[in-house]
Structure 1
Amino acid sequence: MLLYKTPKAHQELAPGSRSLNLRQRSLLLLAEGTPYPQLAQMYHGQGEALVAQLLHTGYLASRTTDASTSCPAPSMAPAAAPASMTLAGTRMYLFDMVERLFAHRQQALAEQLRQALREARDGQALRSVCDQLLNAVATHAGAQRAAQLSQQLVPLVPDWSLESHEN
């Protein structure tokens, strides 16, 4: 099952409209033909409830592919996830992550990461920003937290893997 924004979601994401919380809005940003399992695994188990709520309230609509019409949503192949994620959606997710992690306590670092994200116009630049972000997380919150976040980023960032971060 693939998830898409509805006109109601596009209205919510327009400037000046804020009826959803930050997590709900970030999930909406990522929903552009995104497989249900990819969105549901976000936010450490809370993603499934958020996606269900957005579907129920009309912000997201689902479409099944020909191959999955008789299968439940979780059986979708995880290999399809990175191809369906847009660069802009991934950048917005990373902007949100920078805000939540660094904006209040590490303002200079947050601004540096924001600027790097603004300048990231291709997959290679985005991977570089991810490495900077995870190094900052490791420095300020510990290696375990950085490892958790890196696992979340693998399906979102094109051609990026845990091995490439560890080098």
Structure 2
Amino acid sequence: MLIKTDKGRHELRPGNRSLGQRERALLLVADGQQSESRMADLFDGAGRQLIERLVAQGFLARIATAREAPAPIPPAAPTLPDTTTIHGEQFAGTRSLATARMFLFDLSERLFAPRDKAMASRYREALREARSPEAMLAVGRALIADVETLAGSERADGISERLAKLLPGHLLESAA
């Protein structure tokens, strides 16, 4: 299992971008819950090389699984493995397309409805009509692009990070 180091957590903070999208996507899913082999299969098998590079550069650390001898977990590791904290908000639950969709609905209502009712209505309808994961992700990308235009790249980066935490692991390659 892999976890983020302090250096890895720092990389994911808004305004800190020294890695590419794929490396950042791997950092996002490195929560001590996803198997390393599953993460290595991402990006058409290129995940293995990316993982090794992130470990060598100090962004990720390996921890022992229950089947292996226990290894000490670095002090900065999350204490609640099923709870994710992002920008001060906690989310305890499973990753799912439905959860990600609801997040985007809520985001559209909170950010766009007070300022631009037509844009909020357009995203509400687009999310309702998105029948496939790819269509929903396309709407999410467009919404994040509009957030970046209206509120800046830091806000858009934070939303991208949150969305990546809510998406099922197998969709992360599509989202990156």
Structure 1 length-normalised TM: 0.49
Structure (1/2) with the larger helix percentage: 1
Larger radius of gyration: 2
Q: Which has the higher contact order (CA 8 A, sep 6+)?
A: 2
Give the TM-score taking structure 2 as reference length: 0.47
